[in-house]
Homo-oligomer: A and B are copies of this chain.
């Protein structure tokens, strides 16, 4: 079986639409670019990939998963820096009014590191390279910034702006305090989400690769920056990966270093153990889906290209037939950026606790109003004054008294003398800190598309979709060799038994057996089970391997066990051992 070397996008997309993996949504309305519908097979493929991801990234480590809202109030993304920073540079054609993403235009024209350019740099590059409108050859206008979050209004008042989240991550940050408490102050704490995110792309033209709706699979791993060790690191330390670090990119090159996760950390290419661990895990995850490590690489973001919240980012990229290296996951060293931002915006305490080995003495200052003296000054307003004073954080009152020698409260100027300021000492074993965050973040549709493209193979001129059995949407097909009652009944029994054991099996008796095999191969069914005349005599059936087309007879009673072994990643030959009749 061979993997075709040509551009596969049209063939994969054609198969996907014809057989029901995915197609352009709203076709009857002429389509809206950037939106796909995942059909009966694709919806299951996505769900199975998500479940495999949960197994690999979440359950194995005892992480937990939450489900936060998609609509998010403005202040959250203001605090997180997205309102300011989540923008693309856009260029409009002055003739046909089409809008384009500037970096895509420029990189097609041969420019490099285009994601780091400011609008005015884009303008001069367009001028220098003589770029015109790709649609009508018209002159391009000045570049501008466009916020690529979908905006909406919450409630009927019109003044409560909200955004559709462009990442699930902020949900883990806004809900961190409660989740940390629910999880009884566990640290490190891994919080995962799998769910829809939205990017209002300027002009998406790359089918399944640039979408306006994406299912993200993300972990925010919260850890103590003074205890940054990842206890699972040993499992991937020796995994070799292709790395394109900043130092190489800055030389204007893109060559890949082949290094182990361990040495990438030791040599300082990767700045966080957790990040390195997740990168090793991510490579294994994509390998499970059929993309060999040699077709994967981790490319570091240059400073200007990096999201505002990240101190270091690696994109996990997969080599695709048309688009070359395409990001399937991002690995960001988010530090305490987000929690700090939400703390300072809301005044809420989003710290975690570090239990020290030995108790230490800690001192802090406390301020108390001298109520009697203040009452002499403000008289009947004392109630209002005290209420306002009590609503202030201690630090604020202290700060203003230190800086200015007085505070203004409810219209009164209260001098330092009206307060008692003490230094309190206590012994404690608890220290508070803002956790650091390591984030692996996958785009499910790109992962699913890559899985389909790498599975797309041909054999004797026919398409065979060699999906890894554990993500195949149809796990087994049962065929009576011809449409005759006793054969159909026996096939029906086998089919029911498979369904009962939770195996996604189909049963088909129309068309020739050859056509049914071909249809099954095309959607990646790992095993076909055929009931024929001999089956009625000796209770055996034919099991047929999708990839080798090898056939062998097994007892009808062993079908379920056989399929379960295949789904458990045994090869056709292994599964057949001791079973063939």
Contacts and interface: CB of A to CB of B under 8 A. Distances in A.
Given A66-B39, A99-B155, A350-B28, A17 B71 contact: no
Given A28-B342, A32-B154, A99-B157, A65 B37 contact: no
A19 B19 CA distance: 44
A502 to B, nearest CB: 9
A202 B59 CA distance: 39
Interface string A493-504: 000000100000
A147 to B, nearest CB: 9
Nearest to A183: B40
A28 B174 contact: yes
Interface stretch (A41-49, A275-283, A530-538): A41-49
Contact of A37 (B18, B36, B66, B346): B66
Contacts of A42: 67
A43 B29 contact: no
A408 interface: no
Contacts of A461: none
A263 to B, nearest CB: 32
A179 B39 contact: yes
A542 B348 CA distance: 44
A564 to B, nearest CB: 13
A99 B156 contact: yes
Given A25-B175, A76-B26, A153-B151, A70 B37 contact: no
Nearest to A18: B182
Interface residues of A, number: 71
Contact of A182 (B19, B183, B201): B19
A200 B350 CA distance: 30
A64 interface: yes
A61 to B, nearest CB: 12
A212 B26 CA distance: 25
Contacts of A183: 20, 40
A201 to B, nearest CB: 8
Contacts of A146: 156
Give the most central of A27, A43, A196, A345: most B CB within 10 Å: A43
Nearest to A99: B156
Contacts of A195: 196
A25 B69 contact: yes
Nearest to A21: B182
B68 A25 contact: yes
A152 interface: yes
A132 to B, nearest CB: 19
A7 B90 CA distance: 55
A75 interface: yes
A23 interface: yes
A517 interface: no
A547 B408 CA distance: 59
A179 B40 contact: yes
A469 interface: no
A67 B43 contact: yes
A116 interface: no
A182 B20 contact: yes
A202 B160 CA distance: 12
Interface string A54-92: 000001000011111111110110000000000000100
A348 B28 contact: yes
Contacts of A70: 70, 196, 198, 213
B29 A174 contact: yes
Contacts of A67: 37-38, 42-43, 46
A171 B26 CA distance: 8
Given A29-B73, A37-B67, A69-B212, 10 more contacts: A20-B183, A26-B69, A27-B178, A37-B175, A39-B179, A40-B65, A43-B65, A43-B66, A155-B202, A164-B164
6 contacts: A25-B174, A27-B175, A27-B178, A37-B69, A71-B212, A150-B154
